[in-house]
Structure 1
Amino acid sequence: MLGLKLRGEFLGRRLQGTAIELSNESNTGATQVPAQNFLEITYPTLDLLKGIEAVGPGQGRPVVVIGERGLGKSHLMATLYHAVHDPASTKAWLGNWSVTLNDPKIGSIPLRDGMLVLGESLHRHRYKFLWDMIFERHPHGTYIKGKWEGMGSAKTDIPSDQLILELLRHTPTMLLLDEFQTWYDSLTNSKQTPWKSWAFNFIQILSEIAKEHPELLVLVVSVRNGTSDAYQQIHRVNPVQVDFRAGGSPDKIQVDRRRMLLHRLFENRLQITSPAIENVLATHVSEYIRLMNVPAGEQDRKQRDFLESWPFSPHLLQLLEDQVLVATDAQETRDLIRILANLFKSRGDATPVLTSADFKLDDDTTGIGALLDSVANQQHRSLRDKALRNLTSVVEAVPDHASKAPHLQEIVGALWLRSIAVGNLAGADPAILQADITKTKKVDDNAFQVELATIIENSFNIHQDGTRLVFKEEENPQAKVMASARNDRLFTDGADLAQLAKEVRYVISGTEEVARNFRVIALPRSWQTDPWTGLEESEHPDQWDDRLPILVLPEEPDRLHERLGRWVKDHMQKRRNTVRFLLPRSGFTNAFYDRDLIILARAEMKAREWGNQNAEYRKLHAKYQSELRDILRKRFDRFAVMYRWNFSDPSKCEFHVEALREQGSKIPDAIENALTNDLFVPEDFQDLVLDAANSNSSVGKLLKELQEPRPSGQDCIPWLGETAMKERIIRLCARGKVAINLRGMEYLQALAGEDEDAAWRRLRPKLAFTGRQLDEVFILPPSAVPSTGGSASVTPPPLVPPVGGLFDGGAPAPTPPVGGAIGDPPVAPAPDPTPPPGGIFGGGAGSGRTPFASSATSPLNLIGKVESWGIGPATPVKEVTIKVTAATGAQLKELLKKLPDGMTFELSLDKEGN
């Protein structure tokens, strides 16, 4: 098409984004490239020239760039950066455009020189406070920062105006703060962290300095609108406003905007001569004027419009601006540029002018439909599906459609695009459709009417609305659901966020087995400051059970180790070593601020709510739920667990951050496999257990210690859960490393010569206690019990057998030993001075033996007697006789079951007759 060339950034298979970054890590940001390279793609719009004048010498007001996303705020900010940082290149650029546009005023705009320029995209949150950025990057900043911090008790919350003036007098500065409102709105404002108030006060200081000392400070900020708190403080000093929606006549603004679009898209648009363009447009323009009955007095202006808009028709540009830019997700100029670039790539070589008819709805290779869908609302997508089904219907219903409807695809595409207009603008007159398909050859009027009638007769969604034709869907459940999902006023109670969190939990713990072993908690969007408010009470840490907790973060933390360390200190009072943090992929925004995810969650809610009304809604519920879950399954690719703990300085905490290959409900098991196989060090665990054995510590105490990070910078031992940890203790017991005292009822240890696996199988079922019962189970060195192994029914200090006696299977009940409370070592009293001869223990005096006996009493009293006689765990006793006066067969059987292994017994009884 007359040699017209797209800029290189649009020639790839996948279009690069047109968003402007002031700086980035790859040093390709707008302020990091040479001024000549950046200004080459920049057109001097009215707004841009106004901004350059506002930062020039002799100006004394801050500059505020106002506009919603995608309008070009960042591009304008970058241009102002180069205007002050490299005035020579900017002057040359203005001079060239002055000649090109035949406007001497452009070349005569004065530029400021010799001023340091600091620019920052604040939405990246590289700095907590504005003064941090200034102190770090200003040549005199380190000195002023030290002076401020060295003020001791006189130090203010924010740097004073005198300090900032001293800094600026050293080196005058131009300060560009892009996305200031986005950054400001994200700040917290509480008694502990009054950061928004500090920012509010500091921007006031900067604004007043910029007004009173313009030779020292030029302040430029960008905001989305003029009603925010971020803007109001600057508004007090009467700033220069660069508003993309105001200023100039509508016609001049439109011409200015279209020239900017074409210059941004094409590298040689200005080199194509007007006569050459007029020649290729001749047929299309003449037919447009005829079909639309353009008055003679308007025809010259229309021809100029076509000339200014080429290679696109002006009515196409107007249509896209009216439709695409009102879509919920569109980003104004940015998305319009991407759509036009795609359209030119797919159809630019095939036609002299691009119109609505060049959108081929059934040609997926062009990517046009997919791109429009990405920025359109649900009605756009739904109508496109309807249009495609209508197109298929015509093809199937008309065997010779190629001759009867040669422009079928073009007409359906143009009508679809025009049917997505808002209000009464939807649809198109037949005349404009005929103009859309007219390129180098005229289309016969009668032939077009026949073709159009054929299409209408065989379609089921084209309606007549007065003289206009329009695609409609009267009752489309999908459109209704999505319209409600996009209505923020219907979800002010936060139910959509709760639904999204619910789906996150389901995706990670969807199976019954996972839910039985793991507690998955989706932290809210304010997870860093207020993680528990809004969650169910059962999800608060003080209500956790023995399931392994997996905390799903909605976003990737910056300074991950520091953030997680401080979070654990501030929001976890116990069991700090048990949590696993599931992390989203790098670059993902906070899930609860992700518009696409929220819309899908809302759509799922509404479809389920209306499912009883119509089966279509039930299908939609399944569809949206499936789409949302598919996205969430792929969202997480890493987890973090505690590695080293530092309570006094959480910023020095360290975490293991491990990659995950599994998705969805396979993630919890993948985390445990990684912890068990890669991060758990058996030697460290063995050392800890041996220390506990040497200290005669209980299993309960050991497990509690394992649930907390190890102190003094020691490597943390990953918590694998109570069952896994108890099994590892039993395994050490089976290896002969330790012995275990089971609440005085039984000693566990490996038998002499016993194989480890055999010992493991024998001992594993023994440690079935849990909870507080484990506080009565002690770990001992193997030498603390007989080396022959086995079990012995004795009472270890400081605990006693179960209530009801050794043979009664009652519930355990600790009894304070003589001489102190539970936990104190027993003190053996003097023997009973008058023990009766014989008795339940039998025996008598002699052979160094001291006989003891007791009258019939309860098992608990007998235990007390044994302790009062000074009989401890290692005290040998002989001729032990226990007499039971009366019992039933069931009681006898239960008593025999309770007898310890490794001993032999005799039994005699009198059976009573019936």
Structure 2
Amino acid sequence: MLGLTLREEFRGKRLKGTAIELANDSNTGATQVQAKAFLEITYPTRDLLKGIEAVGPDQGRPVVVIGERGLGKSHLMAALYHAVNDPVSTASWLESWAVTLGDSSVGKIALRSGMKVIGESLHRQRYKYLWDVLFEHHPQGAYIQGKWEGQGEGKTDVPSDKLIVELLEHTPTMLLLDEFQTWFDGLTNTKQFPWRNWAFNFIQILSEIAKERPDLLVLVISVRNGGSDAYQQVHRVNPVPIDFKAAGNAERIQLDRRRMLLHRLFDNRLQIAGPNIELLVSNHVDEYLRLQEIASSEQDRKRSEFVECWPYAPHLLRLLEEQVLVATDAQETRDMIRILANLYKSRGEVVPVLTAADFRLDDDASGIQALLDSVSNEHHRTLRAKAQQNIISVTEAVSNHTQIAPHLQEIVGSLWLRSIAVGNFAGAEPSVLQADITRSEPIDGNAFQVELATIVENSFNIHQEGAKLVFREDDNPRAKLMAYARNDKLFTDGSDQAQLAKQMRYVVGGTDEVAKTFRVIALPKSWQTDPWSPLEEAEHPERWDDRLPILVLPEEPDHIDQRLGRWLKDHLQKRRNTIRFLLPRSGTINAFLDRDLLILARAEMKAQEWSGQGPEYKKLHTEYQSALRDLLKKRFDRFAVLHRWNFGDPNQCVFNVETLKKQGSMIPEGIEEAITNDLFVPEDFEAFVLDAAADNSPVGKVLRELQEPRPAGHDCIPWMGETAMKERILRFCARGKIAINLRGLEQLQANPGEEEETAWKRLRPKLSFTGRQLDEVFLMEPSAVPATGGTAPLTQVPLNTDTGGLFGGLQPTPVVNVNEPAAGDNPMIPGVGGGIFGGGGAVSGSKPRIPLSNPPTSPLNLIGKLEGWGIGPATQVAEVSIKVSAASGAQLKELLKKLPDGMAFELSLEKDDN
């Protein structure tokens, strides 16, 4: 109407995206088009003018654009790009708006020129290091990069300020970094990869140069909020903040925003005369003022507001801005533009002013679909479906509905839109609905009351709440199910938590392929204090097999290193080095306290239980299960493995925390890839194996030691699983670094001059032993002439002895005397017994032994003492003596029952003479 035309980009059947990119591969980004073309769709808001002034000449402060997604940060930064890159076009644009706005100061804003302008959207993740943006785009970048990298051992982690100043002295630069916080927050920050620290330091260098040498550098960055680490370094130099608040004046913010929206949507909105608009909307405005009982002193201001907002009613814009979009996950301005463009294309030419009644539920093009695309709450979509069903119900129940309810579609559409508002704003009074459907002429009040009553009486989802009418989901399977799921009293048995844990296990390790290699365990809500008792017995550590354990944490630990270190000491007594801890995203609460997750788990569980009541529940089960799994797939983005162990003080433990890029059932594979590529140090593993070969250690002992943390503060070697570790050991054998004695039957070793791959193919099938069989397979240093069979020399097979002389029987188990130590005297075993002539020394060349003892105490304290001495499950000990000063017969019998099978023991005691 009145010749108003949408911009070309909004006229097509499919609305183009309104997101602004500084640059893209198709060269259509905001900084890649001509300044004149870009500025044509740009309204000079106060925030934008503030930014142009801040990057002008004689300004010496960085600029920070602050705002959540969709507010227009990228658009503003693109405008600043053109202001410096093409000051001529920008000056012409400012002068034109100075005339339009009647503000001569706009045309007098000074513009900077003569600078190289570099703009980059960092969320595209094309740069690992921030300085690469400068080095790649600056004409002197390659030279300075080479100069920095050519510093040899003196090269710093971050390019120095002197190098950057030298770069900028060659060509002064304006640097715009869009989505800086998104890029910064995604950086790894570990001891091995301190990339976030480097970026933190480099942005400080840039900030200080921008402040001290504004003639060389103008720095502009965008962040989502001012409390992030990404912003703090720039904040130190007192930047110019642009926060889309128009100096805090609410009326000015609203006026700026509405004018910007209309200018962005329409080619000629400013050319439409105000008196023509006022005449067109007069009937609607008169009825609105009457029905809403607006005071006469306020009516002129309200009429001006209608003219300012046309073709949209101001009460519609307020509804969308203040109630509907804030109830969703919408992207503010960006989604608002899409919704309003679709609404105008559908209804703008047939009504004098657009209201909530124009969101017709029978027409997706009316803005409904654009709105739903922005809505993250499934409730709103369901409510639309219910509203549509109510329309059908009315038409079927009332034969002459076209006469009795001629505004059926408009009333239901308006009520639906107002029902998805937040909190107490949801719903509408009848007078509001009557104002919404008023167009070129007033509607008779009595006829409207009859029409509205007909609609309410024949609908099954419209509820009366005080003076308001509102759509609700009651009286349908979905509502029933969700009401049950929201009732906490019905789940005091913890079944909902068990179901949530089950779904977490399934999402991470539910496929058969994953289950063959990994044991996925979702720890309970009480994981810090009581991790095992709520779980099934098959998931307790003593029942674990050789699969790699992945423990899914329900929450992010507050201090990861200290918390997980203490947890390992308190709740896991062996195989501590095999654990992979799967961590949820930062900022998430405990999954078992997350009401949204619990409700989804409850709904999915109850829908399955009630599936026999009708097919609706089967569909709901599929829907909620899918929704829950989708959330859980996105929940976990990091994992932690032990890096350094400290039994005495678990607070000193250190963990490697790595980012995961894979989701769902791909997480275990992603963990192993990260461990293999980023954490496993082949040199450490090789040194460990070579030391074991020098000691003729059994392979079983080596593998058991690898499953435990390394003592004395050594970095742990990540456990890759028995098969992977055996293959790596066999690789060393194929390279000629070690030899392997196969149970005294065969010695595996690379032949002189044999290629590694040839040796690998020959040797690989021979190391097929597993479990305790590997205790009879020994690592050895390679000999000059490889052995192909026979029995290994006796000195290469460590044995302990039973009692006996020089020719006494051999027994491969330690002797435990519950009263006094037995005196072993086999001279052929190093370090055992007294020697061939009864002396106390060990055979020459044997490893020295460290005597350890502890005063009488409880068994639990003795177990802790073993760990304090560094004695793990694979540690060999000899001459073990456990002394019991006094015991009853029952106690002694109970003690003997608990001694492990497969070992021999000698018993001597003193019995009271009765």
Cross-structure match for 1:682: none
**CA deviation profile, 1:425-467 (whole Å, cap 9, x unmatched):** 3322322211110112321111111111222233344344443
Cross-structure match for 1:312: 312
1:210 to 1:604, Cα distance in 2 relative to 1, 3 A? closer
1:367 to 1:258, Cα distance in 2 relative to 1, 3 A? closer
Separation of aligned partners in 1, 2:188 and 2:336: 35
1:507 to 1:60, Cα distance in 2 relative to 1, 3 A? closer
Cross-structure match for 2:200: 200
1:461 to 1:105, Cα distance in 2 relative to 1, 3 A? same
Cross-structure match for 2:335: 335
Separation of aligned partners in 2, 1:123 and 1:385: 37
Give the superposition deviation at 1:20. 1.1
Give the aligned residue type for 1:108: K
Map 1:33-52 to 2 at 5 A: 33-52=33-52
Contact 1:481 1:606 in 2 (8 A): no
Contact 2:481 2:606 in 1 (8 A): no
Cross-structure match for 2:145: 145
1:85 to 1:470, Cα distance in 2 relative to 1, 3 A? same
Instruction: Please state whether the residue corresponding to 2:59 is helix, strand or coil.
Output: coil
Cross-structure match for 1:17: 17
Separation of aligned partners in 2, 1:481 and 1:158: 57
Separation of aligned partners in 2, 1:278 and 1:314: 14
Contact 1:600 1:624 in 2 (8 A): no
Separation of aligned partners in 1, 2:482 and 2:14: 29
Q: TM-score, normalised by structure 1?
A: 0.59
Instruction: Please state whether the residue corresponding to 1:118 is helix, strand or coil.
Output: strand
Structure 2 runs not aligned, ≥5 long? 489-494, 523-527, 553-582, 612-616, 635-662, 669-699, 701-721, 728-741, 746-766, 778-787, 789-795, 797-827, 830-914
- Of the structure 1 ranges 159-168 and 68-77, higher mean CA displacement relative to structure 2 is found in 159-168
- Of the structure 1 ranges 146-155 and 312-321, higher mean CA displacement relative to structure 2 is found in 146-155
Contact 1:207 1:219 in 2 (8 A): yes
Instruction: Please state whether the residue corresponding to 1:219 is helix, strand or coil.
Output: strand
Cross-structure match for 2:371: 371
Instruction: Please state whether the residue corresponding to 1:120 is helix, strand or coil.
Output: strand
Contact 1:188 1:195 in 2 (8 A): yes
Instruction: Please state whether the residue corresponding to 1:283 is helix, strand or coil.
Output: helix
Give the aligned residue type for 1:208: E
Give the superposition deviation at 1:300. 2.6
Give the aligned residue type for 1:161: D
Give the superposition deviation at 1:57. 0.8
Instruction: Please state whether the residue corresponding to 2:225 is helix, strand or coil.
Output: coil
Contact 1:610 1:617 in 2 (8 A): no
Give the aligned residue type for 1:167: L
1:520 to 1:479, Cα distance in 2 relative to 1, 3 A? closer
1:314 to 1:24, Cα distance in 2 relative to 1, 3 A? same
- Of the structure 1 ranges 215-224 and 1-10, higher mean CA displacement relative to structure 2 is found in 1-10
Cross-structure match for 2:171: 171
Instruction: Please state whether the residue corresponding to 1:215 is helix, strand or coil.
Output: coil
Contact 1:607 1:621 in 2 (8 A): no
Contact 1:482 1:603 in 2 (8 A): no
Cross-structure match for 2:262: 262
Cross-structure match for 1:119: 119
**CA deviation profile, 1:746-779 (whole Å, cap 9, x unmatched):** xxxxxxxxxxxxxxxxxxxxx99877879999xx
Separation of aligned partners in 2, 1:444 and 1:88: 58
Give the aligned residue type for 1:401: H
Contact 2:604 2:621 in 1 (8 A): no
Cross-structure match for 1:608: 601
Give the superposition deviation at 1:602. 6.9
Cross-structure match for 2:57: 57
1:81 lines up with 2:74 in the alignment: no
Map 1:613-652 to 2 at 5 A: 619=617, 622-628=621-627
Cross-structure match for 1:107: 107
1:276 to 1:617, Cα distance in 2 relative to 1, 3 A? farther
Contact 1:373 1:381 in 2 (8 A): no
Give the superposition deviation at 1:258. 0.7
Contact 1:378 1:479 in 2 (8 A): no
Separation of aligned partners in 2, 1:480 and 1:267: 49
Instruction: Please state whether the residue corresponding to 2:176 is helix, strand or coil.
Output: strand
Instruction: Please state whether the residue corresponding to 1:220 is helix, strand or coil.
Output: strand
Cross-structure match for 2:277: 277
Cross-structure match for 1:5: 5
1:479 to 1:160, Cα distance in 2 relative to 1, 3 A? farther
Give the superposition deviation at 1:153. 4.1
Q: TM-score, normalised by structure 2?
A: 0.59
Give the superposition deviation at 1:172. 0.9
Instruction: Please state whether the residue corresponding to 2:120 is helix, strand or coil.
Output: strand
Cross-structure match for 1:129: 129
1:153 to 1:631, Cα distance in 2 relative to 1, 3 A? closer
Separation of aligned partners in 2, 1:593 and 1:37: 42
Identity %: 66
Map 1:496-645 to 2 at 5 A: 503=503, 506=506, 510=510, 515=515, 603=596, 605-609=598-602, 619=617, 622-628=621-627
Contact 1:604 1:625 in 2 (8 A): no
Give the aligned residue type for 2:598: M
Contact 2:411 2:437 in 1 (8 A): yes
Cross-structure match for 2:406: 406
Cross-structure match for 1:222: 222
Separation of aligned partners in 1, 2:153 and 2:632: 52
1:340 to 1:499, Cα distance in 2 relative to 1, 3 A? farther
Separation of aligned partners in 1, 2:137 and 2:215: 19
Map 1:88-103 to 2 at 5 A: 88-103=88-103
RMSD: 6.2
Contact 1:382 1:479 in 2 (8 A): no
Cross-structure match for 2:212: 212
1:236 to 1:388, Cα distance in 2 relative to 1, 3 A? same
Cross-structure match for 2:426: 426
Give the superposition deviation at 1:108. 1.5
Give the aligned residue type for 1:206: L
Contact 2:223 2:230 in 1 (8 A): yes
Separation of aligned partners in 1, 2:775 and 2:370: 64
Separation of aligned partners in 1, 2:487 and 2:319: 26
Give the aligned residue type for 2:431: A
Give the superposition deviation at 1:345. 2.4
Give the superposition deviation at 1:517. 8.3
Cross-structure match for 1:397: 397
Instruction: Please state whether the residue corresponding to 2:281 is helix, strand or coil.
Output: helix
Cross-structure match for 1:444: 444
Map 1:782-801 to 2 at 5 A: none
Instruction: Please state whether the residue corresponding to 2:335 is helix, strand or coil.
Output: helix
Separation of aligned partners in 2, 1:600 and 1:361: 37
1:224 to 1:496, Cα distance in 2 relative to 1, 3 A? farther
1:510 to 1:310, Cα distance in 2 relative to 1, 3 A? same
1:550 to 1:471, Cα distance in 2 relative to 1, 3 A? closer
Give the aligned residue type for 2:158: I
Separation of aligned partners in 1, 2:273 and 2:266: 14
Separation of aligned partners in 2, 1:426 and 1:510: 41
1:166 to 1:19, Cα distance in 2 relative to 1, 3 A? same
Cross-structure match for 1:647: none
Give the superposition deviation at 1:227. 1.9
1:551 to 1:326, Cα distance in 2 relative to 1, 3 A? same
Contact 2:203 2:233 in 1 (8 A): yes
1:291 to 1:174, Cα distance in 2 relative to 1, 3 A? same
Give the superposition deviation at 1:510. 4.9
Instruction: Please state whether the residue corresponding to 1:247 is helix, strand or coil.
Output: helix
Separation of aligned partners in 2, 1:403 and 1:16: 40
Give the aligned residue type for 2:289: I
Cross-structure match for 1:525: none
Give the aligned residue type for 1:608: A
- Of the structure 1 ranges 262-271 and 103-112, higher mean CA displacement relative to structure 2 is found in 262-271
Separation of aligned partners in 1, 2:240 and 2:12: 39
Give the superposition deviation at 1:170. 1.3
1:600 to 1:319, Cα distance in 2 relative to 1, 3 A? farther
Separation of aligned partners in 1, 2:196 and 2:307: 51
Give the superposition deviation at 1:85. 0.7
Separation of aligned partners in 2, 1:104 and 1:617: 71
1:592 to 1:189, Cα distance in 2 relative to 1, 3 A? closer
1:21 to 1:431, Cα distance in 2 relative to 1, 3 A? same
Give the superposition deviation at 1:377. 3.0
**CA deviation profile, 1:5-63 (whole Å, cap 9, x unmatched):** 32233334433321111112222211122212211211111110110011111111111
Give the superposition deviation at 1:77. 0.5
Give the aligned residue type for 1:345: K
Give the aligned residue type for 2:377: N
